[in-house]
Amino acid sequence: MKDVLLIGIDGGATKVSGWVINYQEQTKLFQLSDINLQKKYSDYPDFNPGYTPVDIKTQLDEMNKEIHLTNEEKKQGEVYMKTAADVITGLLKKFSRKNALIGIGMPGLKTADKRGISALANGPRMPEFSDYIESKISEKNLTLVSPIAHIGSDADYCGLGEEYSADGLFRDVQNAYYLGGGTGVADALKLKGELIPFDQTKSWIAKAWEMQCDKRISFERYASAAGIQFIYSRYSNITVEELNINHIYPPQILEKALSGDKAAVDTINDVSIYIATLIYERITTIYSGWSGLFSFVNPARNLTEKDHKYRGVLLDRIIIGQRLGDLLDDSKQTPLLWSRIIERLSELFNKNSEKRLKKKYLQNGRFRKEFIAISKLREAPVIGAGVDAWLTNKKNSLC
């Protein structure tokens, strides 16, 4: 594997990022190299900024049947796939003598073979995604160690990045929860020393985006950068488009809150309350089972298993990553957000009757803030994509 070029790809809502990743044989850890490439979908002339996705109910209905792509969907999908292919081939050309191993993380529900995207709430379906990428690689006479095994989840890849990177915060604990907030929200779990994909826990714990607060708004709105913009937009009556034009993102919203802007103060207060409540729900659901603290975005969703096999486990660390982590870190020297989260957690745990929880998380009646760690691993999903490709290839080689 010494002559293999390992590449991690993270496809988001607006761009595709790719990095060459180095594997350290002695430590069995992965780290980013200095070689990377990013491309935006909007840089391509055929990109449609006003694209309207196919109704999600139609997408879900067609997932296990024949997928009928609209002409607009095909055109937008071609842009997305070409962007990813250009990032990958651009990196491969720098090392044309090496065979490449590629791991790809993309949003959306995957096809049965995991190589395509069969449902995507905010974009086009791309069932032939991996086939398209491989054809573009072949056209340029570049080679892969093996075909793309599957397209992964950015949430799972955040967990892998935190576990297998030298800077990862999963590495030195047995039980931890990761909450990453970028364009969307990513959940990852490590319990009893093992990474546990949320897709394997759906009977007893829900993903953040699936749950909604008492305002009937998904927790994704309070934990993601785009969602925080949305909340501020509602309070300020300024459209998200206008906020983007004026470069008003969560850091600027925090600044506005510190200067007394009422809409910004209300936004940051809401974020504080619901991030704290989400953390509390994670700790208590793992420890004692689902208690119905929240309702679900999908009314048909329910959690059927209270007595799951991890009951009694106490989390040693809550990791906040990506842009949400940066925002919390920036707020530590202010009276907003970070301190409000600690205050809210203190209130919630003081009301809890479970003595073991109080002993673990409270000190003199106040939540112990050292249990919350801010991840500096902004490219965790990219590293995770590379790790997954490496481990999958290794597993297949041994079979």
The identity of residue 284, as a single letter, is T
Given a cut of 80, whether residue 397 has pLDDT beyond it is no
Relative to beta strand 99-105, strand 4-11 is parallel
On the CB side of 106, CA atoms within 13 Å amount to 32
**What is the pLDDT at residue 32?**
93
| pLDDT over 70 percentage in the chain | 99
* Cα 163 to Cα 363: distance, rounded to the nearest angstrom: 29
pLDDT in tens, 304-344: 899 999 999 999 999 999 999 999 999 999 999 999 999 99
Extents of the domains making up the chain: 4-152, 169-374
The domain defined by 169-374 folds into Nucleotidyltransferase; domain 5 (3.30.420)
**What is the pLDDT at residue 396?**
81
Please report the sign of the dihedral spanned by the C-alpha atoms of residue 72, residue 74, residue 77, residue 79. negative
14 versus 319: which is more confidently predicted?
Answer: 319
**SS percent in the chain: helix, strand, coil, step 5:** 45, 20, 35
* Cα 128 to Cα 85: distance, rounded to the nearest angstrom: 13
98 versus 73: which is more confidently predicted?
Answer: 73
**What is the pLDDT at residue 2?**
66
pLDDT in tens, 257-270: 999 999 999 999 99
Element at 230 (helix H, strand E) = helix 225-236
**What is the pLDDT at residue 173?**
97
pLDDT in tens, 191-218: 999 999 998 999 999 999 999 999 999 9
- Chain centroid, CA 361 distance in Å: 26
Contact 185, 223 (CB under 8 A): yes
* Cα separations in angstroms, 378 against 101, 157, 320, 324: 22, 12, 11, 10
Kindly report the CATH number that applies to the domain delimited by 4-152.
3.30.420.40
Instruction: Indicate the SS3 state at residue 195.
Output: strand
The identity of residue 212, as a single letter, is Q
* Cα 162 to Cα 16: distance, rounded to the nearest angstrom: 20
* Cα 245 to Cα 279: distance, rounded to the nearest angstrom: 33
**What is the pLDDT at residue 3?**
78
Q: Judge if 4-152 and 169-374 fold alike in CATH terms.
A: yes
Contact 303, 330 (CB under 8 A): no
In the chain the beta strands, taken as DSSP E runs, fall at 4-11, 15-24, 29-40, 99-105, 109-110, 117-119, 151-152, 176-181, 185-191, 194-196, 211-212, 295-296, 317-321, 362-363, 366-367, 372-374
Residue recorded with tokens 């391509």: 44
CB-based contacts of 255: which residues, under 8 Å, 6+ apart? 264
What residues are paired with 322 via a beta bridge?
A: 181
Contact 67, 125 (CB under 8 A): yes
Mean pLDDT, the chain, whole residue set: 94
pLDDT in tens, 21-61: 999 888 989 999 999 999 999 999 999 998 999 998 899 89
Given a cut of 60, whether residue 399 has pLDDT beyond it is no
**What is the pLDDT at residue 121?**
81
Q: Supply the pTM of this predicted model.
A: 0.92
Q: How far apart are the first and last CA of the chain?
A: 17
**What is the pLDDT at residue 107?**
87
